[in-house]
Structure 1
Amino acid sequence: MKLDRFTTETDGPVRRYEYDDSSMLAVDFGPRHDASVDLVDGTVIVVDGDDQYELELPQGAGDAHTFIKNGVLTVEVEADQ
């Protein structure tokens, strides 16, 4: 996942976890109750009021699951089998 630009645009900490068959990214946006997340053509899009953040998933990534809860964005990407 391309994190360099994404992490400079957010204020909260970013953590990345690697597993044998998947990886997970957690980004703390803080207590933002109106933030939403969507996944469109391999791009994770977070909208928070007037702010928008985008994160491109790696080429060849398998299934991806995204959700945001209590201001923490979680992106789970399964390895392409």
Structure 2
Amino acid sequence: MNLDQFTNSEKQVARRYEYDDAVVFAVDFGAASADAAVDVVDATVMVVIDGEQYEMDLPDGADDAHTFIKNGVLTIEVEGDR
């Protein structure tokens, strides 16, 4: 999963956290982007913020992905083989 796809602006901060059973990606689009939508279609995470669409492919072998966005922070939790 390439976080650079979500950080094309220097204002966006992205982090990757690895745990025993999952990997969590967090991208801070800023509180001004609180009106945003996120969805997973097939193996692609799609985020729409202020009319701009961002896409990121899930890693091969990812069994499940949980996504949500709150207060401008996108969280993607990927379970399975990463």
Fold shared, TM-score > 0.5 on shorter chain: yes
Deviations 1:16-50 (A, max 9, x none): 00111110000000011221100001111000121
Q: Which ranges of structure 2 fall in alignment gaps of 5 or more residues?
A: none
SS of 1:62's equivalent in the other structure is strand
CA distance in 2, matches of 1:30, 1:15: 14
| Residue 27 (structure 1) aligns with | 27
Give TM-score scaled by structure 2 length. Answer: 0.87
CA distance in 2, matches of 1:4, 1:13: 10
Two-structure CA RMSD over aligned residues (Å): 1.5
1:5-24 pair list within 5 angstroms: 5-8=5-8, 11-24=11-24
Q: Which ranges of structure 1 fall in alignment gaps of 5 or more residues?
A: none
| Aligned-residue identity in percent | 62
Give TM-score scaled by structure 1 length. Answer: 0.88
Q: Which structure shows the higher strand fraction?
A: 2
